[in-house]
Amino acid sequence: MKHKIVSIVTSVLTVLTVTSAPFSAMAADKAADYTIKDYTTAESFYNRVVLSKAWQQTVDRAERGEMVQLPAYLVDRLTTDALVEAVLDYPFFCDVYAFDDVQVGVDLMMEHFNGVQELADRDDVASVLLDKYCDEEVLTDAAADSDVLRLTNMEILMSQDFVTTKFSKKEKCKFVKTVASKMEEKVASPVYGEYTNGLLFDLLENNSADSALLSDMAEARDRGYSSYVTTPNGTQVPTIANDTEPLTQAQINSYDASCASAYPNAVKLRSASKKYNCHSYAWYSTSSSNKHWMNNPVAYVNDGSYVGANSIVSGRKAVYIAKNSPEYPNGFPIHSAIVYSYSNNVLTMRSKWGSCGLYRHVWNDSPYTYYCLGFFQRA
């Protein structure tokens, strides 16, 4: 599978030369329009950008990403407290939930957003973020304007090693105690679902080498039962099957709203769901009753059910490929999609964005725009 994916990447990228043009001087000019004013807060800066005509009309995710880079003068004047808010308000923070592994989304945000890069360099980031987290209330109900993702987004930031390695011994104890307390409140609240209740611990387990910290954390993981689906050639593919939706309605509404703001040109076909993901949708079943979350679709190619395609045709499988994975040095399928149309050099996909919704979108107007593409057809 590893070799079969990357063997077609070169030809595919050649086809997409026109539609995948890098950030250009024209894009830089657009971004400059939003930095000439003397903004005092990141919120005012973001609002100016996302309400602009250029934001609404630009379909390239990377180009819009450049538009919301924080101006240098603003970064320099922001306190660490204000910088945390700037990162939490980042229009593309919702992208982290579009990946099966949230950490992949966080790493991508770290690579492409100067706000979180600056935050990671602040010496007081751990203490400031911990204080904010301690003061943050656990919601017991969700009004239409409630930011139900804010607490989880804080926890995602706090799970990163640029935070945990800066905790003092006293702060580490406070962190563990606060997480345990808030976990109890979240479990008792109808606002937070199983998925996000265990996310902090899962991320810490992957990021932290501090065994003492991990052993002290209250464990609250996603619940599901082991299952599998089969490829056309009969190979069993492991999945996690969820009979009920792990996300609450409040979380679903927030995911939908965040993606609508960050991706104004993408068409939402279905709302957010943790029951099935991109690989399951593209390779196993497009049905709304699909309950299988599939972490790796490589068996569909390894057993010969599908082969690499050298042309782009509606209905074919598309794979966004990461080529820098230590475990898969020749390429790992980060995201799967189905070709919706390819006309006038514009490629449109249908794909499920992780825990977020199902969207019809231009191939590079998605959280996965920074990855290479490969295509497959039925053998």
Place of tokens 């989880």: 152
* Angle at 172 (CA atoms; ends 170, 174), nearest 5 degrees: 70
Domain boundaries in the chain?
23-216
Mean confidence (pLDDT) of the chain: 86
pLDDT for residue 226: 56
What pLDDT band is residue 230 in, cutting at 50, 70 and 90?
very high
- Cβ–Cβ under 8 Å, residues 335 and 282: no
CA 199: distance to chain centroid?
13
Q: From residue 164, how far is each of 103, 111, 123, 156, 176 by CA, in Å?
A: 15, 19, 12, 11, 11
Q: Write out pLDDT tens, residues 369-378.
A: 999 999 999 9
Quick check: 313 and 339 in contact, CB under 8 A?
yes
Instruction: Enter the tokens of residue 44.
Output: 């005012």
Residue 94 has a pLDDT of 96
Task: Give, to the nearest 10 degrees, the angle between helix 150-158 and helix 199-207.
Answer: 20
CA 321 to chain centre: 15
Helix (H) or strand (E) holding 236: strand 236-241
Residue found by looking up tokens 């603003």 in the block: 74
pLDDT reported for residue 38: 66
- 224 pLDDT more than 70: no
Asked whether the beta carbons of 273 and 355 are under 8 A apart, the reply is yes
pLDDT(45) > 50:
yes
**What number is the average pLDDT over the span 323-332?**
69
Partnered with residue 360 across adjacent β-strands are 267, 350
Question: Which of 15-29, 127-141, 167-181 holds the top average pLDDT?
Answer: 127-141
pTM of the model: 0.75
Kindly indicate the confidence band of residue 13, based on its pLDDT and cuts at 50, 70 and 90.
very low
Tokens of 119: 């935050």
- Pick from 159-168, 206-215, 337-346: least confident: 206-215
Confidence of residue 221 (pLDDT cuts 50, 70, 90): very low
Q: Is 98 helix (H, G, I), strand (E, B) or coil?
A: helix
- Strand 332-343 relative to strand 346-352, pairing: antiparallel
As a whole number of angstroms, the distance between CA 109 and CA 28 comes to 20
Residues 373, 82: Cα–Cα separation, whole Å: 38
For position 354, what pLDDT does the model report?
Answer: 97
pLDDT at 350 over 50: yes
Which pLDDT score is estimated for 12? Answer: 39
pLDDT of 294: 95
% of the chain residues with pLDDT over 90: 68
Assign 183 a pLDDT band (cuts: 50, 70, 90): confident
Cα R_g (the chain), whole angstroms: 21
Q: pLDDT of 239-278, one tens digit each? A: 988 888 999 999 999 999 999 999 999 999 999 999 999 9
In angstroms, the CA 318 to CA 1 distance is 14
Q: In angstroms, rounded to a whole number, what is the distance separating the alpha carbons of residues 97 and 79?
A: 27
C-alpha distance from residue 111 to each of 118, 310, 338, 344 (Å): 11, 31, 27, 32
Residue 5, pLDDT above cutoff 80: no
Instruction: Flag the least confident range among 34-38, 144-148, 299-303.
Output: 34-38
Question: Which pLDDT score is estimated for 19?
Answer: 35
Task: Please list, residue by residue across 256-288, b when 16 or more beta carbons sit within 10 angstroms of its beta carbon and e when fewer do.
Answer: bbbbeebbebbebeeebbbbbbbbbbbbbeeee
Q: Which of 291, 299, 261, 273 is nearest to 352 (CA)?
A: 273
Percent of the chain at pLDDT exceeding 70: 86
Query: Quick check: helix, strand or coil at residue 55?
Result: helix
Answer yes or no: are the C-beta atoms of 273 and 252 closer than 8 Å.
Answer: yes
Does residue 298 have a pLDDT over 70? yes
